[in-house]
Structure 1
Amino acid sequence: MFQEALNYPRNSDSAVKTIVIGGLLLVLSFLFVPVFAVLGYVVRSLRGVLAGVEEPPAFDDWGDLLTDGAKAFAIGLAYSLVPAVIAVVAVVATGATLGVTGPGRGAGLAVGLVALVAALLVVVVAVLAAYVIPAAVVAWVRADSLGAAFSPAELRVYAFSRTYATGWLVAVGISLLGSIAVGALNAVLIGALLAPFVTFYANVAGAHAIGSAVREMPAVEDGTEAPVSRPAA
């Protein structure tokens, strides 16, 4: 799965052109709209892999691309708000603890303990969100309904699947490799220019890892029948 995912972005005669376009869009990500285009392309890649297509798609039909990207962004934002809210509550709780205990040696210990617990909670929830977001996107793509991205019944099929978990871990591994490569490139001025292209490549490869894992999921896992893939408009 790992090797196939790494090779996926190159499985096309127009691979160089596609990677160049994706990297340039990330360079222009400060304009925000190009981010939707990149996310839309990742979604289109995921949709193709789920359908059994092993050749990455082209950058065309930009309206659909931007629409899919906006939907994927909305899904990610919605789930990302959970750890953000917990972080805000943690700050408030830390302040309240300080207000109750007042200054002193015991106050510092209490505030430190509350802050540590809050920080650990935020990290755990953030990791869970990172795990659920791809599953939510898969649920949306397969059901062709945004509601499926927030349906506990749909998400349970993927989130509790060992097959999905394996694909997610492979995608994370590819992302980490991409981050290491980007870090190395950033150490060299000319190399830093290649960082957006490496990031785009890693994202597309990660989409293949998750898509192929979901495609290989057994019809019934953990007692729940996997949703039947339906074509998305």
Structure 2
Amino acid sequence: MIGDAIKYPTQHDDWIKIILIGGGLYVFSMIPLIGMIGGLLLSGYYVRTLRAAAMEEETPPVFDEWTEMLIDGITYVGIALVYLLIPTILSVILLLIAGGDSLVGLLMTAVLVLVAVYLLPVALTNFAVTDSVDKAFDLSTISDAAFTSEYFTAVVLAVVVGFALSLIGTISILLLVGILIIFYMNVVVHYILGKGCGPQLQQKNEKRITP
């Protein structure tokens, strides 16, 4: 999977244009206030990447239909916030219950956050393939797809590849090419995660549709 993932962003005739636009949006996202739009557009593109990977499309998505991409980006961020907010609230409750035993509370908090972060890419992919926000919170389908060897392997690969590429991007950031590498890395990571849970999600969703 690593080889296919690394090559994936280049599997389009206009891949250089795609990378340049992505890098440009990454730079734009650093501008205070208005840069938020750039970040949301990037998130919308990552939704398309998750969808393409899950549906086993061989070429990466392009930057078009900007309004739709912006809406997808807003939804991406909204889903992520909910998934991270829930363990935060539960953590506060657990810390209050634990009282003086703060270590136990902190450990339980760490576990909840890790579970939420682990499930989040699956939730985002389920939203991407169904175009339904509700499906991002279908915990039955999401857990079935998340707790598989395929997805676990994908998460490990995404962490390793993401760390390696981000390190390269950080080192070369002063040369500007680092910004392009960071965008490239994010596409690769989202491809790996979408590929890792996509088949299971589609199979689960098809079973629910079939009478």
1:100 paired residue number: none
Conservation of the 8 A alpha-carbon contact between 1:5 and 1:208: yes
- The answer for unaligned runs of 5 or more in structure 1 is 98-112, 220-224
Conservation of the 8 A alpha-carbon contact between 2:122 and 2:197: no
- Once the two structures are TM-superposed, the CA of residue 181 in structure 1 deviates from its matched residue by 1.7
**1:77 and 1:53, CA in 2 relative to 1: closer, same or farther beyond 3 A?**
same
Conservation of the 8 A alpha-carbon contact between 1:23 and 1:197: yes
Q: Which has the higher helix share?
A: 2
Alignment of 1:173-212 (within 5 A): 173-186=160-173, 190-191=174-175, 193-212=176-195
Instruction: Identify the match of residue 138 of structure 2 among 148, 151, 154.
Output: 151
- Once the two structures are TM-superposed, the CA of residue 226 in structure 1 deviates from its matched residue by 2.0
Alignment of 1:39-188 (within 5 A): 39-86=43-90, 88=92, 97=100, 114=102, 116-186=103-173
More divergent stretch after superposition (116-125 vs 44-53)? 116-125
Instruction: Identify the match of residue 35 of structure 1 among 31, 34, 39.
Output: 39
2:196 paired residue number: 213
1:104 paired residue number: none
Whole-Å Cα distance in 1 between the matches of residues 186 and 156 of structure 2? 13
- Once the two structures are TM-superposed, the CA of residue 124 in structure 1 deviates from its matched residue by 2.3
Whole-Å Cα distance in 2 between the matches of residues 67 and 210 of structure 1? 21
Q: What CA deviation, in whole Å up to 9, does each residue of 1:92-135 have, x standing for no partner?
A: 679x64xxxxxxxxxxxxxxx51x33333333222212111111
Whole-Å Cα distance in 1 between the matches of residues 204 and 142 of structure 2? 10
Q: What CA deviation, in whole Å up to 9, does each residue of 1:16-61 have, x standing for no partner?
A: 2111111121112142111111011111122122232211111111
Conservation of the 8 A alpha-carbon contact between 2:80 and 2:120: yes
Conservation of the 8 A alpha-carbon contact between 1:135 and 1:155: yes
Letter in 2 for 1:207: H
Percent identity, aligned pairs only, is 29
- The answer for unaligned runs of 5 or more in structure 2 is none
How many pairs are equivalent? Answer: 203
Conservation of the 8 A alpha-carbon contact between 2:123 and 2:135: yes
DSSP 3-state at the match of 2:39 = helix
Conservation of the 8 A alpha-carbon contact between 1:163 and 1:216: no
- Once the two structures are TM-superposed, the CA of residue 66 in structure 1 deviates from its matched residue by 0.6
DSSP 3-state at the match of 1:54 = coil
Whole-Å Cα distance in 1 between the matches of residues 3 and 132 of structure 2? 31
Root-mean-square deviation (Å): 2.6
Q: What CA deviation, in whole Å up to 9, does each residue of 1:197-218 have, x standing for no partner?
A: 2221111111221222234549
Whole-Å Cα distance in 2 between the matches of residues 151 and 226 of structure 1? 11
2:206 paired residue number: 228
Q: What CA deviation, in whole Å up to 9, does each residue of 1:155-213 have, x standing for no partner?
A: 12212222122222222222211232234235xxx23x333322211111112212222
Letter in 2 for 1:10: T
Whole-Å Cα distance in 2 between the matches of residues 218 and 183 of structure 1? 34
Per the normalisation by structure 2, the TM-score is: 0.83
Whole-Å Cα distance in 2 between the matches of residues 126 and 196 of structure 1? 28
